[in-house]
A and B are shown apart, each in its own frame.
Chain A
Amino acid sequence: MDWNPLFLTFKLALLTTVLLLIISIPLAYWLAYSKSRSKPVVEAIVSMPLVLPPTVLGFYFLIAFSPNNSFGNWLEQWFGIQLVFSFSGLVIASIIYSLPFMVHPIQSGLSGISSSLKEAAYVIGKSRWETLIKILLPNIKPSLLTGIVLAFAHTVGEFGVILMIGGSIPGKTKVASIMIYEEVEALNYGSANFYSGILLLITFAILLVVYLVNGGYLKRFLK
């Protein structure tokens, strides 16, 4: 059996999730507390991947990243990177595609914290940064966990965007979901079943852990 597609899937999901977490915390913080007039626009943009067909996103990524067009050409000239049909292209597309799954839980977690907690830290003399790291984030651990897991799982299950922008290059962009599709097309049901089964088990296990942790079952069990 070729383990490469599975390995690639989890590498992609892991990398996407870590980068998403770094991007989403400041973004969610801004969305939760800002009174800016541009907030609805940003909110709409962040939420768009929820409703757009993945093929639409993938199509526009393909256009934008293509070296034949100005943005893709600029990337290639200045940084020497080509995002179409490459792993880094997949990571960037996945980040945008899974953005709402990470931003929304963190945003609602932050909005749910009593504002006096934040203000108490300010009055004590703590900077915004210190307040975020030491007060706000530790109090939204369940939201962070939900965001991490949803983003991870969503990236594992990604298909349309990857097919459009990544193609199916073995070892580079041929992730498990694409592999399954191709095996079914070639009538190799046994092989498709192998990859599908593994994805099924792993995603179930991950989600189960989240609900166990967030529901407090684990804590009770360990006590």
Chain B
Amino acid sequence: MIVLQIQKKLHGPEGEMVLNLDLTIAKNQLVALYGASGAGKTSTLRILAGLMRPDVGKILVNDEVWFDSQEGINLKPQKRKLGFVFQDYALFPHMTVQENLEFAAAKGQLKHVQELLEIMELARLADQRPRSLSGGQQQRVALARALAQRPKVLLLDEPLSALDQEIRLRLQDYLWEVHRKFELTTIMVSHDPQEITKLADVVFVLKNGEFTATGAPAKILPNSPDSTGIVVAVEKAANTTRVTLEIEGQILRITLPSSRARNLRLGQVLTLNLNTPN
């Protein structure tokens, strides 16, 4: 179980903000952190990993104290034994795929490294250097390396954001598989509601450094900013009205009965709900 109760002053894109977190994550859960950029998602992961020091609070992981500002405890990142997949993967460029994994694994864990290479389908690429790999392959190496030290907690910072849709879907499967197989507690930062709904047990929505919603993705995400649209054009015809919405830079045209579109104004923000007919 992970308990994180911390406060930390950050310099966000809109000036100073206070990251004020109180979260509890059950063992073996896969949890997603969701929110706009600059909301504090990456900082949350960095605080857990020990790469950033909170101002006050405490962090407990599996009954072990990692951080306690009152007791003056702050476990070094080296001692926290967690896996971290960085957004830019942070593969060591001067080492081959296998060397990257071996560097992370404890001594005498060569069998585990081989096993990971097999699971992530990297055996064929074991002697290559990261530079010559594609984005999806680098991603798999980063994930395998994070698992090489047998962590109980896995942190992923937007692991799939730079990949195209097809590879992304495959990697989600890998992620799910290793999460189950190695009995991990996984925390993933993600922008993608589809990905969160598919993988996560719980989603935490972060806004300006605070959680605004928590719960199962299916319950939380329909009201997320992604499913709101701004009315940019309204064209009235005899009985129907064509409404043009802008959703995250994309244009969506829908036709409504005029009776239902009477009160629409330009610039109005709409929440979208999709219902499948019974």
Interface residue ranges, A against B (CB under 8 Å): 114, 116-117, 119-127, 134-135, 138-139
Contact = CB atoms under 8 A, between A and B. Distances in A.
Highest count of chain A CB atoms <10 Å: which of B49, B50, B79, B90: B90
12 contacts: A116-B87, A116-B90, A119-B77, A119-B84, A120-B86, A122-B76, A123-B50, A123-B82, A124-B103, A124-B148, A125-B81, A135-B92
Given A122-B77, A123-B49, A134-B103, 15 more contacts: A117-B92, A119-B49, A119-B51, A120-B90, A122-B76, A123-B78, A123-B80, A124-B145, A124-B148, A124-B149, A125-B81, A127-B78, A135-B92, A138-B94, A139-B94
B157 to A, nearest CB: 9
Contact of B88 (A114, A122, A127): A114
Q: Please give me the 7 A-B residue pairs with the lowest Cβ-Cβ distance, nearest first.
A: A120-B90, A116-B90, A122-B77, A124-B104, A123-B84, A116-B86, A138-B94
A119 B157 CA distance: 13
B93 A123 contact: no
A134 B102 CA distance: 13
Contacts of B49: 119, 123
Dominant SS among interface residues on chain A: helix
Contact of B93 (A124, A125, A139): A139
Interface string B79-120: 111111011101011100000000110000000000000000
Nearest to A137: B94
A114 B90 contact: yes
A125 B78 contact: yes
A117 B81 contact: no
Interface in B115-164: 145, 148-149
Nearest to A119: B51
B51 A123 contact: yes
Contact of B86 (A119, A135, A139): A119
A121 B94 CA distance: 13
A183 B60 CA distance: 76
A134 B103 CA distance: 9
A72 to B, nearest CB: 44
B51 A122 contact: yes
A125 B92 CA distance: 15
A94 to B, nearest CB: 32
Contacts of A116: 86-88, 90
B201 to A, nearest CB: 24
A216 to B, nearest CB: 13
A114 B88 CA distance: 9
Nearest to B49: A123
A114 B91 CA distance: 11
A119 B103 contact: no
A52 B93 CA distance: 39
A117 B84 CA distance: 12
B228 to A, nearest CB: 33
A112 to B, nearest CB: 12
A135 B103 CA distance: 10
Nearest to A124: B104
